[in-house]
C-alpha cells in the first residue's frame, strides 16, 4: 500500500501500518495534509488546516510509539468539526458571530490528544449547526464529492465531504437531529449515532446532540467509539461478528414533524433490498408502523430552544445570518418547564418502543431521497427552511429525541446521477454493540 492509499485507508488499516513500521505518523500526516489541501480547493470542506501543529503531533506520536506506546489510534490523523473547541483557536460554528479563541480543549479533543491522534483540520458546518446542508455566508458552500452540484448534508457536512473524498480516514461529527447520519447518507459513509450519554462532549440542544464520527467502514467507527466512549462490550469485536437472528421491522413512514415528502423510489428499493438481505441472513423481517404520537411537537421544543441558546451564546449575536436569527426567535417562548417536559416525552417515547413493536431493530430510510442540490433552501426564511428540512429529513430526529443508537449505512447509488443511497438502522438504548454487529454484517453482505 502506497502512502496515498494509506491516507484513505481508515483508522483500522492505518493502525496496522503504523504498528508494523510500514509508515510513520509523520509520513501519513504529511500526505494527509496534501490531500486536505486538494479537497479544500475542490469542495470547500475545511475552515482551517493545522499544518504546523499536526506535524508536531505526528512527531510526538512517532516518539511515543518508539518508546513502546501501543495506544490503538496513536499517530492516526483526524479532522474535527468546527463546533468543538480546540484551545487557542476560534470555534466558529459556521459563523462570523464567533471570534474569541477557545480557552481550553473540549473533553473529546483532550481525549483525542491523549490517545495520540493527530488533528489535521477543522471542518465546515452550517451556522449554529441548524441545517441539513452546509452553506454559510461566512465560509461559502461545501459540496458533495460525488456531485459538486449537490450538498454533502449537514450539519457535519464538511466532515462527511472530507472523508468521502478520501482526504482523511476519519472526522468527528455531532448529531442533534440527524447531523451525522444525514451527511453519511449524502456521501456514502457510515454514520453511527451512539446511545446518548455514552460519548464525552455531548448533550447539546437539551440532550439531543451526541458526539460521533464519519468513516468509510463500520469497524473504523467502532474503533473510534470504543476508544472514547462508554459501552457495554467491545464495539470493534461486535462489528466483526454476525449477530444472532434478530427481529427487524421495516417502516417507510417518517417522523411527522411537518407534512412529509413521499419517499423517492430508489430509496424505497434500497430499504426493500436491505430487508430481503436480512431475511436471507436469517433474521425475521416484518413491516411495522412506529406510533410517533405527540413526540414530534415535543422534539421541536428541544431543537428550537437549543438554537435559541446557541444564538445567544455567540460572541456577537448581531452578526448571525438573518435565517439563523429567525430560527432562534422561534425558540423564544420555550421556558425551562416546557423544555423539561419535552425531554421527559423523548425519554418515554424511546423507553419500550421497539419492544412494544415486537422487534429488536428498526429499518428505515435515512432521508426521503439522495442528497439535494446546493441552494435548495437559498433565500428561504427560518420557518420555511425548518419546515422544508423537516419534510425531507424526517427519518432521523426521533432517535435523538429518544436517545437511541442509530446508524446510516451506504446502500448503493442512484442510476442517473450516481448519488449515494442509504438505509438507517435503529436499536434500543444501550444496544449499541448489537446494532454495530448488524451494521457490520450488512456491510460484509454487500461487499
Q: Which residues participate in catalysis according to the annotation?
A: 81, 155, 179
Question: Which residue(s) pair with 207 in the sheet?
Answer: none
Asked if 257 and 301 count as a contact pair (C-beta separation under 8 A), the reply is no
Closest to 76 (Cα-Cα) out of 171, 142, 214, 164: 171
* Cα–Cα distance, 218 to 438 (Å, whole number): 10
Question: Which residue(s) pair with 286 in the sheet?
Answer: 249
**DSSP-derived pairing of the beta strands 190-193 and 406-413:** antiparallel
Tracing cell 461566512 back to the chain, one arrives at 138
- Written as nine digits, the cell of 355 is 419492544
Closest to 214 (Cα-Cα) out of 255, 162, 176: 162
Is residue 309 classed exposed, middle or buried when 0-12, 13-18 and 19+ CB atoms within 10 A define those classes? middle
* Cα–Cα distance, 407 to 439 (Å, whole number): 8
* Cα–Cα distance, 408 to 422 (Å, whole number): 6
Closest to 265 (Cα-Cα) out of 369, 363, 420: 369
CA 243 from chain centre, in angstroms, equals 24
- Written as nine digits, the cell of 247 is 427481529
Asked if 267 and 421 count as a contact pair (C-beta separation under 8 A), the reply is yes
Mapped onto helix, strand or coil, the DSSP state of residue 403 is: coil
Residues whose CB is less than 8 angstroms from the CB of residue 403 and which lie 6 or more positions away in sequence, other chains included:
195, 196, 197, 207, 346, 347, 350, 429
- Written as nine digits, the cell of 394 is 424526517
Asked if 11 and 19 count as a contact pair (C-beta separation under 8 A), the reply is no
Question: Which residue(s) pair with 77 in the sheet?
Answer: 118
* Cα–Cα distance, 17 to 316 (Å, whole number): 46
* Cα–Cα distance, 49 to 79 (Å, whole number): 9
Cis-peptide into 155, omega within 30 deg = yes
Amino acid at each position: 500500500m502506497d502512502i496515498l492509499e494509506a491516507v484513505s485507508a481508515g483508522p483500522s488499516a492505518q493502525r496496522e501500518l503504523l504498528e508494523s513500521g510500514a509508515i510513520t505518523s509523520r509520513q501519513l500526516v504529511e500526505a494527509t495534509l496534501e490531500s486536505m489541501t486538494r479537497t479544500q480547493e475542490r469542495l470547500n470542506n475545511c475552515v482551517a488546516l493545522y499544518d504546523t501543529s499536526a506535524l508536531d503531533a505526528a512527531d510526538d506520536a512517532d516518539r511515543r510509539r518508539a518508546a513502546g506506546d501501543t495506544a490503538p489510534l496513536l499517530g492516526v490523523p483526524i479532522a474535527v468539526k468546527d463546533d468543538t473547541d480546540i484551545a487557542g483557536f476560534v470555534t466558529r460554528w459556521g459563523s462570523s458571530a464567533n471570534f474569541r479563541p477557545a480557552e481550553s480543549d473540549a473533553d473529546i479533543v483532550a481525549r483525542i490528544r491523549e490517545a495520540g491522534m493527530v488533528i489535521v483540520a477543522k471542518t465546515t458546518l452550517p451556522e449554529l449547526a441548524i441545517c441539513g446542508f452546509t452553506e454559510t455566508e461566512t465560509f461559502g458552500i461545501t459540496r458533495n464529492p460525488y456531485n459538486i452540484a449537490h450538498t454533502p448534508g449537514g450539519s457535519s457536512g464538511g466532515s462527511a465531504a472530507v472523508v468521502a473524498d478520501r482526504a482523511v480516514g476519519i472526522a468527528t461529527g455531532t448529531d442533534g437531529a440527524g447531523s451525522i447520519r444525514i451527511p453519511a447518507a449524502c456521501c456514502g459513509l457510515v454514520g453511527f449515532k451512539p446511545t446518548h450519554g455514552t460519548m464525552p462532549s455531548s448533550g447539546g440542544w437539551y440532550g439531543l446532540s451526541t458526539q460521533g464520527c464519519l468513516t468509510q467502514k463500520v469497524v473504523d467507527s467502532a474503533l473510534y467509539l470504543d476508544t472514547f466512549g462508554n459501552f457495554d462490550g467491545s464495539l470493534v469485536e461486535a462489528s466483526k461478528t454476525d449477530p444472532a437472528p434478530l427481529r427487524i421491522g421495516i417502516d417507510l413512514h417518517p417522523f411527522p414533524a411537518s407534512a412529509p415528502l413521499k419517499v423517492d423510489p430508489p430509496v424505497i428499493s434500497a430499504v426493500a433490498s436491505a430487508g430481503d438481505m436480512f431475511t436471507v441472513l436469517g433474521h425475521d423481517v416484518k413491516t411495522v408502523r412506529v406510533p410517533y404520537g405527540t413526540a414530534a411537537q415535543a422534539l421541536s421544543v428541544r431543537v428550537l430552544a437549543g438554537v435559541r441558546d446557541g444564538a445567544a451564546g455567540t460572541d456577537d449575536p448581531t452578526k448571525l445570518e438573518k435565517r439563523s436569527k429567525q430560527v432562534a426567535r422561534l425558540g423564544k417562548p420555550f421556558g425551562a418547564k416546557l423544555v423539561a417536559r419535552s425531554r421527559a416525552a423523548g425519554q418515554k417515547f424511546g423507553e419500550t418502543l421497539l419492544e412494544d413493536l415486537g422487534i429488536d431493530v428498526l429499518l428505515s430510510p435515512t432521508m426521503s431521497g439522495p442528497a439535494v442540490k446546493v441552494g435548495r433552501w437559498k433565500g428561504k426564511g427560518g420557518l420555511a427552511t425548518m419546515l422544508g428540512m423537516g419534510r425531507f429529513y424526517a427519518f432521523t430526529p426521533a432517535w435523538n429525541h429518544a436517545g437511541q443508537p442509530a446508524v446510516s449505512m451506504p446502500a448503493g447509488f442512484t442510476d442517473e446521477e450516481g448519488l449515494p443511497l442509504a438505509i438507517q438502522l435503529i436499536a434500543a438504548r444501550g444496544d449499541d454493540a448489537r446494532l454495530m454487529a448488524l451494521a457490520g454484517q450488512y456491510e460484509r453482505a454487500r461487499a
